[in-house]
Amino acid sequence: MAQAESSGAARSQKWIRYGLIALIFFGTALNYLDRQVLALLKPMLQADFQWTDREFAHFGSSFQLAAAFALLGVGWFIDKVGVRFGYGLAVAVWSLAGMAHAAATTVQQFVMARVSLAVAEAVNTPAAIKAAATYLPVKERSVGLGVINSASNIGAILAPLAVPAIALALGWHAAFLITGALGFVWLAFWWWGTAKLEPVKSIEAAASAQKAEGSPPWGELIKDRRTLAVIGAKTLTDLVWWFVLFWAPDFFARQYNLGQADIGYPTAIVYVMAAVGALSSGFLFPALLGRGFTANKARKTSMFAYALLILPLPLALYAPDQWVAALVIGLALFAHQGFSTNIFGMTADIVPARQVGSVIAMGALAGNLSGAAMLEFTGWALDSGLGYTPMFLMSASAYLLALAWIHTMQPQLVVVNTDGED
């Protein structure tokens, strides 16, 4: 009898854990949907407010800067208050911040809404990783994180399909209000669905042991060439992702004279290809290992292949229509996602496990700062009549430069974290 009850409880917890994965998946998708609304509404908003491109760039850079500095504290916040309350609060705050855009009437008010959105949304990734480490057994954790990581691409695909349609039917105010309100629908499911979650005790014990061992302070970590390899690579490549995420709708509108109704579809194509790129990286590296490549050669060969794929990006400037341009830009984001996944894989391989979280956070901070600089530069270049050419050329060359930096810092990648198998 007791055994049957125990078995039933175990099955119940398993389904609750699946529900947790689904909830974080949809939360992450909302995260990317909410952050894209402003960029997708640029034609409408610029017509209403007469913003310059440089003023519009401030919205993107303020978001990146706020997210960068929020990363310094969100890990502590989640550890302090716990995943259930901390993540729920973050979604509530970023949903309110998204809706607040509808009430903004000045550049300063839009910036304040963007900063609030960025700080709350920065909680998403640390909370997702913390939830996986706390509530998922090892055999379920990698699958769970893989599903969760794919959600950013889903959000980036859904946003250009839904937001322009809402804005055209109900106005741009409604687009902010409706997308923000979805967060509160999600919140009801989150609070109910996680009420009976139970931590995995073995994982808790491992986390406590890791906490006791501790990670070196950032000042010490930054002296390590492995850390510098990750930071440099993220600095050079993340700016491309943030540039395309924020400016792609404007590029299609400006380059091909598209209206609010037409910019969503080519933008969606770009992120469909990005999603495929993220999946492809999970196959290329192990395939090369299976062919007898060393971890060093397999990782760098994978990165080199993706770096070559992004070189044609400037050809999008000469594409005959938005569909060809979307395929060229989509190929670039396909390559970005493949390269980026290899950076994360490299970090997990060569950086001691107790330091991985800190090194990833440092890389993310650097990537957000370089992204902010790229967004500001784009606004200046457009207002100055230079068009998109400088940014496309910089983006095309960024990945070969990043690989060269990695090879300079780490001529031989040495795997220090293994699964204990030969």
- In whole angstroms, give the CA distance from residue 67 to residue 117: 9
pLDDT of 418 > 70? The answer is no
CA separation (Å) from 104 to 90, 110, 157, 173, 212? Answer: 21, 6, 26, 10, 46
CA separation (Å) from 406 to 230, 310, 363, 413? Answer: 7, 18, 13, 9
More confident position, 12 or 219: 219
Q: Which amino acid is at 336?
A: H
Burial 202-232 (b: 16+ CB within 10 A, else e): ebeeebeeeeeeebeeeeebeebebbbbbbb
Determine the pLDDT at residue 314: 97
Pick the most confident of 117-121, 191-195, 276-280.
117-121
pLDDT category, 10, cuts 50, 70, 90? low
Domains of the chain: 9-213 (1.20.1250.20), 215-412 (1.20.1250.20)
Residue 313: name the closest of 270, 351, 356, 372 by CA. Answer: 270
pLDDT of 284 > 70? The answer is yes
- In whole angstroms, give the CA distance from residue 389 to residue 330: 17
Angle in degrees, CA 386, 274, 119, rounded to 5: 75
Q: Which amino acid is at 340?
A: S
Determine the pLDDT at residue 356: 72
The conformational region for residue 414 under phi > 0 = left, psi -120 to 50 = alpha, else beta, is beta
Half-sphere exposure of 74 (CA within 13 A, CB side): 29
Helices 2-40, 138-170: inter-axial angle, 10-degree rounding: 40
Neighbour-count burial of 419, counting CB atoms closer than 10 A to its CB (0-12 exposed, 13-18 middle, 19+ buried)? exposed
Question: Mean pLDDT lowest for which of 290-299, 370-379, 410-419?
Answer: 410-419
User: What is the per-residue pLDDT across 364-391, written as a single tens digit (0 to 9) for each?
Assistant: 889 999 999 999 999 999 999 999 999 9
Q: Which amino acid is at 21?
A: I
Determine the pLDDT at residue 391: 97
Instruction: With beta carbons less than 8 A apart as the criterion, state whether 83 and 191 touch.
Output: no
Q: What share of the chain is helix, strand, coil (3-state, %, to 5)?
A: 85, 0, 15
Instruction: With beta carbons less than 8 A apart as the criterion, state whether 346 and 359 touch.
Output: no
Angle in degrees, CA 319, 321, 325, rounded to 5: 50
- In whole angstroms, give the CA distance from residue 192 to residue 188: 6
pLDDT of 200 > 80? The answer is no
Determine the pLDDT at residue 408: 96
User: What is the per-residue pLDDT across 321-365, written as a single tens digit (0 to 9) for each?
Assistant: 999 999 999 999 999 988 988 888 888 788 886 777 778 788 888
Instruction: With beta carbons less than 8 A apart as the criterion, state whether 336 and 240 touch.
Output: yes
pLDDT category, 203, cuts 50, 70, 90? very low
Dihedral (CA of 198, 183, 114, 268) sign: positive
Helices 124-135, 138-170: inter-axial angle, 10-degree rounding: 150
Instruction: With beta carbons less than 8 A apart as the criterion, state whether 25 and 147 touch.
Output: yes
Token pair recorded at residue 285: 């590296």
Residues 6+ apart with CB under 8 A from 70: 118, 119, 122, 123
Residues 6+ apart with CB under 8 A from 42: 56, 249, 250, 253
CA separation (Å) from 219 to 224, 357, 359? Answer: 10, 15, 11
Considering the entire predicted model, what is its pTM? 0.81
Q: Which amino acid is at 244?
A: V
pLDDT of 400 > 60? The answer is yes
Average pLDDT, the chain: 86
CA separation (Å) from 190 to 187, 194, 375? Answer: 5, 6, 34
- In whole angstroms, give the CA distance from residue 249 to residue 115: 21
Determine the pLDDT at residue 3: 54
- In whole angstroms, give the CA distance from residue 67 to residue 225: 25
Determine the pLDDT at residue 139: 60
